[in-house]
Amino acid sequence: MANNFEFYAPTRVIFGKGTEGRVGALAKEYGAKNILIVYGGKSAVRSGLLELVKKALEEEGLRHLELGGVVPNPRLDKVYEGIALGKREKVDFLLAVGGGSAIDTAKAIAYGLAEPEKDVWDLFAHTRTAQNCLPVASILTIAAAGSETSKGCVITNERTGEKRAYDDNLARPRFAVMNPEYTKTLPDYQTESGCVDIMMHTMERYFTGGGNMELTDAIAEGLLRTVMKNARILHQDPANYEARAEIMWAGSLAHNDLTGCGNDGGDFMSHKLEHEMGGMFNVTHGAGLAAVWPSWARHVYKNALPRFVRYARNVLGVAAEGSDEEIALLGIQEMESFYHSVGMPVNFSELGIRPTDAQIEEMAQRCLAACGGHTGSAKRLSPEDMIAVYKAARDGSV
Ligand code: NZQ
Ligand code: ZN
């Protein structure tokens, strides 16, 4: 049965080769006068993209300044630094060059500058909601988080180890420039982690306990099959433009809510569980998801059996005969084989972490707090369930 829904995807997408040259005209069109460019380590410098962007802005006479040094699992201190800089320099527009970490940092700075008298962390602690946000846009260099079109923003408070999300349409980027060419310099591990994240954004919306639409399912299944096929291609042939383009577009559609229309809001527990792993162990987001998903899936599949069977048949092509439970379990095994085939982990030891029992209990408590009452849809997870999933990922799935 289809639930009521609202679909709001206002981000203008400019996709393909050479599109970065249009950023000056685009920023001007959206009223930017004083732009803060936010980027990460050195990848955007090395590729020459940052220089091109600055040149394009200068050609339109737009003032700009820079904030580099954003790290994966982006940190609150960098956000505060950007807010202080933006206040001093009267910034009115945020332009991220990079992936989810640069874009989310830009979004958080945009929230902070729009309500300068308030602490931006309150949003992530869920003690208030944003009333305003400066305009944000992005030039994407990694297909993964989907932040270029999503309402999401994820920041880590490095002092407490809390990695927290704040979702609000106010921060949806005005435009996203996506040239797949720029993703060719990604290390394989980042490319494939990105592919896992893209799939997971769709799977979180697919494995639900209530509400589905045939069209949404068809879009989701097509997207998932396309990402798997092209993730395998890129594992062998990282310079393949066509595969890069497929993955990049999938990344945006997977997280702009298109694959959730008509469902009940999705499950999102693999994400919530992973965010705690990212906060505590600073793991790469997509790889962390791959490492926790199989244990989550084996823990919950009986509660959403028809969805797991459908997934096994329609996405993974499981053709074997058997009971629904057998087919669902075969599907989970197939996912593990796929993750392995593209160099992704399927448990904590392959991910390279070994949390103690005490750390697992802490992650579960924090996860519960971060959930704000929404603890899943395929199955609502209690803290004991969360601990069981983490322990299965650490000790080997049951
Ligand atoms: O910092 P640089 O030098 O740019 O290196 C980055 C970084 O090390 C590198 N990279 C990016 N583009 C590159 C490149 N290296 C070579 N060539 C390129 N073209 O890749 C590394 C990862 O970058 P990052 O921005 O961290 O990746 P991603 O896009 O996966 O973002 C991950 C963050 O987004 C959050 C994650 O939790 C994580 O913090 N998420 C944000 C969401 C949202 N806002 O809607 C939803 C997601 O579920 C996710 O939680
Ligand atoms: Zn994600």
Q: What is the number of the ligand 1 atom nearest to the C-alpha of 99?
A: 25
What tokens were used for 181? 């060419």
pTM of the predicted model, to two decimals?
0.98
Residue 233 Cα to ligand 1 midpoint, Å, equals: 21
Residue 276 Cα to ligand 2 midpoint, Å, equals: 13
Condensed to tens digits (0 to 9), the pLDDT of residues 359-385 reads 999 999 999 999 989 999 999 999 999
* Residues 195 and 205 sit within 8 Å (Cβ to Cβ): no
Amino acid 389: pLDDT: 98
Residue 305 Cα to ligand 1 midpoint, Å, equals: 33
Residue 100 Cα to ligand 1 midpoint, Å, equals: 4
Q: Give yes or no for residue 347 CB within 6 A of ligand 1.
A: no
Amino acid 398: pLDDT: 45
Residue 96 Cα to ligand 2 midpoint, Å, equals: 18
Pick the ligand that lies closest to the CA of residue 290. Answer: 2
SS3 sequence, the chain? CCCCCCCCCCCEEEECCCHHHHHHHHHHHCCCCEEEEEECCCHHHHCCHHHHHHHHHHHCCCEEEEECCCCCCCEHHHHHHHHHHHHHHCCCEEEEEECHHHHHHHHHHHHHHHCCCCCCHHHHCCCCCCCCCCCEEEEECCCCCCCCCCCCCEEEECCCCEEEECCCHHHCCCEEEECHHHHHHCCHHHHHHHHHHHHHHHHHHHCCCCCCCHHHHHHHHHHHHHHHHHHHHHHHCCCCHHHHHHHHHHHHHHHCCHHHCCCCCCCCHHHHHHHHHHHHHCCCHHHHHHHHHHHHHHHHHHHHHHHHHHHHHHCCCCCCCCCHHHHHHHHHHHHHHHHHHCCCCCCHHHHCCCCCHHHHHHHHHHHHHHHCCCCCCCCCCCHHHHHHHHHHHHHCCC
Q: What is the number of the ligand 1 atom nearest to the C-alpha of 71?
A: 1
Pick the ligand that lies closest to the CA of residue 293. Answer: 2
Q: Give yes or no for residue 141 CB within 6 A of ligand 1.
A: yes
Pairing of strands 93-98, 63-67: unpaired
Residue 145 Cα to ligand 2 midpoint, Å, equals: 5
Q: Give yes or no for residue 285 CB within 6 A of ligand 1.
A: yes
The C-alpha atoms of residue 194 and residue 186 are separated, in whole angstroms, by: 10
Q: Give yes or no for residue 41 CB within 6 A of ligand 1.
A: yes
Residue nearest to atom 3 of ligand 1 (CA): 41
| Bridge partners for 92 per DSSP | none
Residue nearest to atom 2 of ligand 1 (CA): 41
Sign of the CA dihedral running 156, 273, 189, 48: negative
The C-alpha atoms of residue 124 and residue 109 are separated, in whole angstroms, by: 13
Q: Give yes or no for residue 40 CB within 6 A of ligand 1.
A: yes
Residue 127 Cα to ligand 2 midpoint, Å, equals: 23
* Residues 138 and 67 sit within 8 Å (Cβ to Cβ): no
Percent of the chain with pLDDT over 90: 98
Condensed to tens digits (0 to 9), the pLDDT of residues 171-222 reads 999 999 999 999 999 999 999 999 999 999 999 999 998 889 999 999 999 9
Q: Give yes or no for residue 113 CB within 6 A of ligand 1.
A: no
Amino acid 397: pLDDT: 57
Q: Give yes or no for residue 73 CB within 6 A of ligand 1.
A: yes
Q: Give yes or no for residue 180 CB within 6 A of ligand 1.
A: no
Q: Give yes or no for residue 282 CB within 6 A of ligand 1.
A: no
Residue 72 Cα to ligand 1 midpoint, Å, equals: 6
- Residues of the chain whose pLDDT is less than 50? 398
Mutate to test the pocket of ligand 1, among 285, 293, 367 (most ligand atoms within 8 A of CB): 285
What is the phi-psi region of residue 311: left when phi exceeds 0, alpha when psi lies from -120 to 50, beta otherwise?
Answer: alpha
